[in-house]
Amino acid sequence: MLQLIGILNVTPDSFSDGGEFFDPDRAIEQAKKLFTDGASIVDVGAESTRPNAMPLTTDEEWKRLEPVLRILIPLYPNKISVDSYHPDNIKRAFDIGPIIVNDVTGMNNPDMVRVVSRLKPTIIISHLPGADIQKAHHEAPVSSIKQVRQDLLARAKLLEDNGLKRDQIILDPGIGFGKTMKLNKELLNFPKQVPQFKVMIGYSRKRFLGDNRMDLMPNLKAGKTAAANGAAYLRIHDVRGHRDLIK
C-alpha cells in the first residue's frame, strides 16, 4: 500500500523551504501537520542537499536536529525518519527512541554500516554517485538506470550480509543527485527494476519537473506515475495535495 513521507527541513538554506521551519517550535508544529495531512512518516533533515550548500559537521547538524527529535521521536516512534549521513547522530537519535534512517549518501561510510547493522532500524538507501553530495552535483551525471539498479542492489546486499533483513531496506534511486534530466524522469519507473524491494521515490519540487516545479500539478503527475509503477513511498513536501493517492 502506497505511503506518503512528509519532508521537514530544519535548515536555513534548503532550495524549497529554507528557513521556514528552522525554528524548532515551528518545525514540530509542521511535523504534526504533515501527519494530520496524511503522512505515514516524516523525514527530518538539517543539512541542505542543494548544489553548493555547505556541509555540516556532526555537532552542527545535531544542534539543529536535537530539539526537534527530542519531541517528535517519543510522540511518533518508528515514524520519524532521520535524514543524516553522520553515524554519531543516528546513534544519538536512536538513544531517544526508535527511528528510520535515511542516508542520502547510500551508506557509503563503513561506520554507518556498522551502526545500522547493530541497531537494526528500517533504512532508506539512496543512490549517490561520487563520494559526497556536492561531488554528485558537479561530476559527470549518471545516465543509465541499469547502473542505478546495480549500485543499489550491491549496497543492499552488503547490508543484508551485515544482518539486516530485506523488509528493513527501502531503496531510493536518488532523483536529482548526479543524474541526467532524462534519467531523472525515467527513475519514476524505478520500482519495476527491483520488485523484490520496497522503493521510495523522491521527486518533490525538483528541477526535472520543469519551470512550474513548485506547483502541485507537476508533482502530482510525477507521484501518480511513480505509484502506478509500484512505488511503496513518495517523499514529498505537499502531503495534503497528494492525499488522494492513498485513498
Domains of the chain: 3-246 (3.20.20.20)
Q: Tell me which of 132 and 174 has the higher pLDDT.
A: 174
Q: Is the pLDDT of residue 205 over 90?
A: yes
Average pLDDT, the chain: 93
pTM of the model: 0.94
Q: pLDDT tens digits, residue range 1-46?
A: 999 999 999 988 655 555 678 899 999 999 999 999 999 999 999 9
43-60 mean pLDDT: 85
pLDDT of residue 191: 98
Instruction: Please give the sequence-ordered ranges of beta strands (E in DSSP) within the chain, or none if there are none.
Output: 3-9, 41-45, 80-83, 100-103, 123-126, 169-172, 198-201, 233-236
Q: Tell me which of 17 and 77 has the higher pLDDT.
A: 77
Task: Measure CA 123 to chain center.
Answer: 10
Q: Could you give the percent of the chain with pLDDT greater than 90?
A: 85
The Cα 152–Cα 70 span in angstroms is 32
* Other CB atoms within 10 Å distance of the CB of residue 217: 10
Residue 135: band (very low, low, confident or very high) from pLDDT cuts 50, 70, 90: low
Place of cell 528493513: 168
Q: Which letter does DSSP use for residue 201 in this model?
A: E
Q: Is the pLDDT of residue 241 over 80?
A: yes
Least confident of 53-57, 110-114, 137-141, 243-247: 137-141
pLDDT of residue 247: 80
pLDDT of residue 119: 97
Residue 173 has φ and ψ, to the nearest 5°, of: -70, -5
pLDDT of residue 199: 98
Q: Which amino acid is at 147?
A: Q
120-137 mean pLDDT: 82
Q: pLDDT tens digits, residue range 146-202?
A: 999 999 999 999 999 999 999 999 999 999 999 999 999 999 999 999 999 999 999
63-78 mean pLDDT: 97
pLDDT of residue 223: 98
Take residue 229 and report the three cell numbers written for it.
Answer: 509503477
* Longest CA pairwise span in the chain (Å): 44
pLDDT of residue 132: 67
Q: Tell me which of 138 and 177 has the higher pLDDT.
A: 177
